[in-house]
Amino acid sequence: MDASPVAQDANLGKRANTILQTCFFAISGILPKEEAIDKIKKAIVKSYSLKGEKVVKMNFNAVDKALENLFQVDYPKVITSETSMLSAMRGASDGFVTEVLEKILAGFGDELPVSAFTVDGTFPTGTSQYEKSGIADFIPVWDDENLCTQCNKCIAICPHAAIRSKVVSNEDIASFPTSLKSVPAIGRPFSKENESYILQVSPEDCTGCDLCVVVCPAVSKVKENFKAINMHKKIDVDVEENINWDHFVTLPYYDRTDLQTTNIKGSQFLEPLFEFSGACSGCGETPYIKMITQLYGDSIMIANATGCSSIYGGNLPSTPYKKNEFGRGPAWANSLFEDNAEFGLGMKLGLTKKQEIAVDLLRTLEPLVGSELVEAIINNPEDKEILKKEKFAQIDALKIKLESLKDNEDAKKLSQLTEYLRKKAVWIFGGDGWAYDIGYGGVDHVLSTGEDINILVMDTEVYSNTGGQASKSTPLGASAKFTIGGKKTSKKSMAIQAISYGNVYVAQIAMGAKDLQSLKAIQEAAAYPGPSLIIAYSHCGEHGYELKHAVSQQEKAIDSGYWPLFRFDPSQPKGKRFKLDSKEPSIPLSDFMCNEARFTGVVKENAELGAELLNQAQDEVHSKWERLELFRDL
């Protein structure tokens, strides 16, 4: 299991930080020059031990020459420029955003008086759209619209909702700049003659992770390494692309009731109610959250465990969760590692009680508001977009009747609870450190209750947010803090444990490799009238490779049997409940593991132990697969 170039590059990045820091210490006089040189050379030796003596000598020479040519730069002690820095939060018309949030982002939050904040302490949602960080050096551009298959896979994989597509009428784009490219929309329910497909990137929100280009299947047969979308230097295209984006966002989203959302293409025309988060470039967690908000964002409540997903989900001064044009969006709250599942269960029990009260009041008022309207509201299952739209209209009609009954006490109470006549769901979000480890007791308890509640575990197999510590999800043979020499025990089989309940919907998914299977699992979990658990493979920088390779790594994880894909649906007839969505392992496990520093680091430190752990992990793959095969009869 030799270290691949990808893994070596990850190690090199860490060593480079050490080298740069040491150079700074030398320049500042914190470290003696001789001691700094010795420390730098040791870092180089460790970084390049796999690259050969010639490369090491070349780098020694580079360090020597660099230190020989160091000189002091005198800079003014007082700022003389009258040029002000460009605000990172732009385009907002809301005074609270410009007067409060922008100042917090600029680092002047301590200067704000208490009176600047709202009386109830609330903050507006959807403010990440104004935080234009513009951190990417390279961004994707839709180069060949005729080559594009309009599959929308690039939109599904984007961690930051920075690339989007819309189908609009030709009249809507008639007055737009010619640089905003469009092509006739293909596929149902679109009209090729009257409607156009547009794919557009936000230059200032894109992080340049490259995943959208990697996943694009539209490869040119004429130009080498050319696809429908390709990476370009941002400085060369940002002026034009920013103009295009500003026009693009004014275009309407397609009518949800007409879209076919059981496939990736149709689902990605839905508006994401989670956008431009502060997650790492190439994050493997956020595409799952984004997809859930596209499908159900206007009717869900989210209990979020502390961790990466709470930091990029609820940080100040901006928030990525937003409302749609009707003012509806996810209700989100963060809880601790140890009690988030119980926190979510409490939200569900509270929701259920309010729904019961609302229905009871509606029944009580039936003689006054009319049986036809009452039955229409109560019997509407809202399992399709058209029925959901009808429910909103029915509740609006009810509100009008309640307004005429404002002297009735029951009508007053119901007027404050009408939103609970809708179908709502609770989703519990968190990482593996919470779900497998510190909060596992709560997760297990929620699954045991039989409550209709959904749990999404974004599994990075390590405590990502707190610095890469091992969790009970960390696999055999991986290096992580507390198991630097390689984890000697197996990963907990949480999915198998959940299946053993018999009444829990369980799925193991990987968006980068099988996006349609991920979509199906999310929709089946949402529809299942009981507890559901989705374990989502989430690539992470802690794995030790450049994340633009995440799609191919996920594919190798599946093809090697490391991460089998499956769905267990107790609502199906016996013999059809368990679906194994990936094929029998077709490549050795080493083809997957050798690309990640978390595995190759063990081999580098102790080749004999690394080989032994790899053999154990390969045996584990075979036994895991045999066990899953037995589930086909469930």
pLDDT, tens digit, 9 for 90 and up, residues 265-290: 999 999 999 999 999 999 999 999 99
Same domain, yes or no: 604 and 507: yes
Give me the CATH number covering residue 620: 3.40.50.970
Measured CA to CA, the distance from residue 392 to residue 209 in angstroms comes to 39
CA atoms within 13 A of residue 508's CA, in its CB half-sphere: 23
Measured CA to CA, the distance from residue 590 to residue 600 in angstroms comes to 10
The closest of 158, 463, 483 to 306, measured between CA atoms, is 463
Backbone φ/ψ region at 159: left (φ over 0), alpha (ψ -120 to 50), beta: alpha
To the nearest 10°, report the CA torsion of 597, 538, 496, 490: 20
Same domain, yes or no: 61 and 154: no
Number of independent structural domains in the chain: 3
Residue 469, Cβ density class (10 Å: 0-12 exposed, 13-18 middle, ≥19 buried): middle
Measured CA to CA, the distance from residue 172 to residue 634 in angstroms comes to 52
Amino acid in position 157: I
Same domain, yes or no: 60 and 155: no
Asked whether residue 359 is assigned to any structural domain, the reply reads no
Query: Is the dihedral angle over the CA atoms 589, 594, 595, 600 positive or is it negative?
Result: positive
When pLDDT is averaged across residues 598-613 and rounded to a whole number, the result is 91
Strand partners, 534: 456, 507
When pLDDT is averaged across residues 471-499 and rounded to a whole number, the result is 93
Asked whether residue 105 is assigned to any structural domain, the reply reads no
Asked whether residue 450 is assigned to any structural domain, the reply reads no
Strand partners, 163: 201
Same domain, yes or no: 56 and 145: no
When pLDDT is averaged across residues 213-225 and rounded to a whole number, the result is 94
Same domain, yes or no: 44 and 141: no
Omega of the bond leading into 381 within 30 degrees of 0 (cis) = no
When pLDDT is averaged across residues 436-454 and rounded to a whole number, the result is 96
pLDDT of the residue at 143: 92
Asked whether residue 296 is assigned to any structural domain, the reply reads no
In our burial notation (b when 16+ CB lie closer than 10 A, e otherwise), range 594-617 reads: bbbbbbbbbbbeeeeebeebbeeb
101 within 8 A of 317, measured Cβ to Cβ = yes
- Binning pLDDT at 50, 70 and 90, where does residue 401 land? very high
> 3-class DSSP state for residue 303?
strand
Would the pLDDT of 631 be above 60?
yes
Q: What share of the chain is helix, strand, coil (3-state, %, to 5)?
A: 45, 10, 40
The closest of 182, 187, 164, 162 to 172, measured between CA atoms, is 182
Name which residue leads in pLDDT, 22 or 232: 232
532-537 vs 454-459, strand pairing mode: parallel
pLDDT of the residue at 429: 98
- Binning pLDDT at 50, 70 and 90, where does residue 30 land? low
Same domain, yes or no: 147 and 263: yes
Same domain, yes or no: 64 and 209: no
Identify the domain containing residue 47 by its residue range.
5-68
Give me the CATH number covering residue 229: 3.30.70.20
CB within 8 Å of 537: residues ≥ 6 apart = 284, 459, 508, 509, 510, 511, 512, 513, 554, 557, 563
When pLDDT is averaged across residues 153-166 and rounded to a whole number, the result is 97
Same domain, yes or no: 477 and 602: yes
When pLDDT is averaged across residues 401-428 and rounded to a whole number, the result is 96
Rg, the chain, Cα only: 27
18 within 8 A of 26, measured Cβ to Cβ = no
219 DSSP assignment? B
Tell me which of 270, 297, 330 is where a domain ends. Answer: 270
What are the DSSP calls for 396-440, one per residue? HHHHHHHHTTTTSHHHHHHHTTGGGGS--EEEEEEEHIIIIIITH
The closest of 385, 386, 395, 383 to 421, measured between CA atoms, is 395
Give the chain's mean pLDDT: 91
Same domain, yes or no: 243 and 147: yes
Would the pLDDT of 225 be above 70?
yes
Question: Which segment of 44-48, 294-298, 407-411, 462-466 scores lowest on mean pLDDT?
Answer: 44-48
When pLDDT is averaged across residues 484-488 and rounded to a whole number, the result is 90
Asked whether residue 371 is assigned to any structural domain, the reply reads no
Measured CA to CA, the distance from residue 39 to residue 452 in angstroms comes to 58
Asked whether residue 513 is assigned to any structural domain, the reply reads yes
Q: For 61-96, what is each residue's pLDDT tens digit?
A: 888 888 888 888 888 888 888 887 777 788 888 889
How many residues can be counted in the chain? 634
Asked whether residue 500 is assigned to any structural domain, the reply reads yes
Q: How many whole angstroms from its chain centre is CA 345? A: 23
Same domain, yes or no: 628 and 515: yes
Task: Give helix then strand counts, H and E, for the chain.
Answer: 24, 13
Tell me which of 218, 237, 270 is where a domain ends. Answer: 270
Measured CA to CA, the distance from residue 394 to residue 210 in angstroms comes to 45
What share of the chain in percent tops pLDDT 70?
A: 93
Q: How many whole angstroms from its chain centre is CA 317? A: 20
When pLDDT is averaged across residues 225-237 and rounded to a whole number, the result is 96
Tell me which of 235, 252, 270 is where a domain ends. Answer: 270
Asked whether residue 201 is assigned to any structural domain, the reply reads yes
Omega of the bond leading into 272 within 30 degrees of 0 (cis) = no
Would the pLDDT of 188 be above 60?
yes
What are the DSSP calls for 553-583, one per residue? HHHHHHHTTSS--EEE-TTSPTTSSEEE-SP
Same domain, yes or no: 42 and 141: no
Would the pLDDT of 9 be above 70?
no
Would the pLDDT of 561 be above 90?
yes
User: Distance between terminal CA atoms of the chain?
Assistant: 37
Same domain, yes or no: 52 and 149: no
553 within 8 A of 595, measured Cβ to Cβ = yes
Phi and psi at residue 569, in whole multiples of 5°? Answer: -120, 100
To the nearest 10°, report the CA torsion of 580, 583, 588, 590: -50
> 3-class DSSP state for residue 625?
helix
Would the pLDDT of 364 be above 70?
yes
439 within 8 A of 456, measured Cβ to Cβ = no
